[in-house]
Copies of this chain bind each other. A is one copy, B any other.
Amino acid sequence: VRAFWRRVERFPAGAQIRLEGVAAAHKQVIIVSGWACQLRILRDGRRQIFAFLLPGDVIDAHAAASLGTRGVVALTRLEVVNAEPYPGMDLAERERVSEVLREAAAQRETRLYDHLVRMGRLSAKERVVHLLLELAERLENVGLVKGESVRLPITQEVFADALGLSIVHINRTLKQLRQEGSVVFKLGSVTLHDRARLAALSHYQSRREGAAPDAEPRSFGVT
């Protein structure tokens, strides 16, 4: 995946990432370092975060448009590189690159569904744990976890905007988890103890390999 070191762009924390350049309708970019999130801001100021974007993730022009519908904002200082294949790349390599990008898009979609389930069907405690497990797993996948605790450059407000809860309630939920000893927040980092238990408690399903236990649909009625 390190085939395209070229044209690094930097953004400060809080900046909106725009890839809407006229010619760049299909522009794609990969995060090298830092965090971002994709979100919508409603006219009354309420915000909903759709996804967190970590190092290794792809941002495309589609995802990064207007904040009124869907925009990308840097949560920390951010470095991205262009994801287009070089002009001087052979066909096989181009094919590999676009395969990687397709795969990334598929995972992004799955995460969106996970997020919908979180907000639609999980309680506050479950949501928080579920999201933390997802973020921890993704950071591990790209080798950004050393030791037991995970660096999370995220305020409780951001958490609230992602999970559809109020800041106050996020705070209380974290407090409860802290008192149970399962989740410890400290200076922008989290430690998750006994992940298996946490995963069960929050109905978290790892996205690493398959093992998806199906359920049979009850028949839906017709009206």
Interface residues of A (CB under 8 A from B): 13-14, 16, 40-48, 50, 62, 66-71, 73-77, 106, 109-110, 112-113, 115-117, 119-121, 152-155, 157-158, 163-164, 187-188, 203, 205, 212-217, 219-223
Copies of this chain, whole number: 2
A112/B112 in contact, CB under 8 A? yes
User: Inside 8 A of A220's CB, which chain B residues have their CB?
Assistant: 13-14, 73-75, 155, 158
Determine if B42 and A215 form an interchain contact, defined as CB atoms under 8 angstroms apart: yes
Are A43 and B213 also in contact (CB < 8 A) when A69-B110, A164-B120 are? yes
Q: Tell me whether B42 and A203 are in contact (CB under 8 A).
A: yes
Report A109 CB to chain B, min CB distance, Å: 7
Interface centre among A120, A158, A212 (most CB of B within 10 A): A120
In the bound complex, residues from chain B placing their C-beta under 8 Å from that of A44 are: 203
A68–B214 touching, CB < 8 Å: yes
| Chain B nearest Cβ from A185, distance in angstroms | 10
Distance from A128 Cβ to chain B, minimum over Cβ atoms (Å):
14
Instruction: Give A125 to B113 CA distance when docked, in angstroms.
Output: 23
Contact A215 B68 (CB under 8 A): yes
Contacts of A110 in B (CB 8 A): 69-70
The answer to whether B121 and A42 have CB atoms under 8 Å apart is yes
Contact A75 B155 (CB under 8 A): no
Of the candidates B66, B73, B113, which one forms a contact with A69 in the assembled complex, judged by CB atoms under 8 Å apart?
Answer: B113
Q: How far is the CA of A222 from the CA of B153 in the complex (A)?
A: 6
Chain B residues, Cβ within 8 Å of A70: 110, 113
With a CB–CB cut-off of 8 A, which chain B residues contact A187? 223
Give the CA-CA distance A153 to B220 in the complex, in Å: 10
Given known contacts A68-B213, A75-B220, what 12 new A-B pairs fall within 8 Å (CB)? A13-B219, A14-B217, A41-B217, A44-B203, A48-B121, A67-B214, A67-B216, A76-B222, A116-B119, A119-B120, A120-B163, A155-B220
